[in-house]
A and B are shown apart, each in its own frame.
Chain A
Amino acid sequence: AQSVTQPDIHITVSEGASLELRCNYSYGATPYLFWYVQSPGQGLQLLLKYFSGDTLVQGIKGFEAEFKRSQSSFNLRKPSVHWSDAAEYFCAVGSGNTPLVFGKGTRLSVIA
C-alpha cells in the first residue's frame, strides 16, 4: 500500500536560514509526488509537483524539491526562509489513477 512518512512533526528555523523538510514514500509504481502548504484556517496550496524527467523541481515561493528514487525520498528545500513561510507542509504521493495519499505534515515555525 502506498504511504508517506514525514519524520519531523515540528521544525523551527531562523529567518534567513535554509530549510529542508523530509519526505519518504512507499509506492509500487512510478509515483507522482507533491508538496502542499497549509496556512492557518486555509486549504492546501500546491507548492510543486514531480511526475517525471528532471529530478530537481522548482515550485512557487522559492521552494524546490529533489526526487531520489534510490532513497524513496522527495525532500523540500528553500535556501532562505521568510517569516511568511511559517505554515504546515504536506508531502503527498499518487498517480494518474489513484487519489493522493498525504503524510501527516510538518509544522514550520520561523523565528527572528
Chain B
Amino acid sequence: DSGVTQTPKHLITATGQRVTLRCSPRSGDLSVYWYQQSLDQGLQFLIQYYNGEERAKGNILERFSAQQFPDLHSELNLSSLELGDSALYFCASSGQANEKLFFGSGTQLSVL
C-alpha cells in the first residue's frame, strides 16, 4: 500500500459529461501529481501541485483542470469528455523534493 488513495476506482460515463477524480496523498506529502496512462501515449504528466499551488503543467487539455485543497487532497476535473479521454488516471505524491513518487492505484475512466 503506497498510502495514496484515489477514488473512484472505476468510472463509466458518456461523451460530453464532466467527472471529478479525487486523490488523497500520503500523510505529510505536499506535492501531488496527476498522470494519464493510455496504451498509445503511455504515462503522460498532466499537472503538479505543491502545498496548494500549481507547480508544473504538462500535457493537460484546456477541458481538464485540477486543484489542491488546504487539507492537501487534490481533484482532477475532466469536462466535455470525449472517447479519447478514456484512460487510467494516476495520482502520485511526494515529499518536498521530487525524489520519489508514490502512486495510487488509479481511476479507470471509460467514456462511452
Contact = CB atoms under 8 A, between A and B. Distances in A.
A39 to B, nearest CB: 10
B98 A96 contact: yes
Given A41-B105, A104-B42, A99 B48 contact: yes
Interface residues of B, number: 22
B99 A51 contact: yes
B112 interface: no
Contact of B45 (A32, A46, A100, A104): A100
B56 A99 contact: yes
Interface string B39-75: 0001101001000000010100000000000000000
Interface residues of A, number: 24
Nearest to A41: B105
Interface string A68-101: 0000000000000000000000100011111111
A99 B45 contact: yes
A43 B42 contact: no
Contacts of A42: 105
A95 B43 CA distance: 17
A25 interface: no
Contacts of B92: 43-44
Interface in B53-112: 56, 58, 90, 92, 97-106
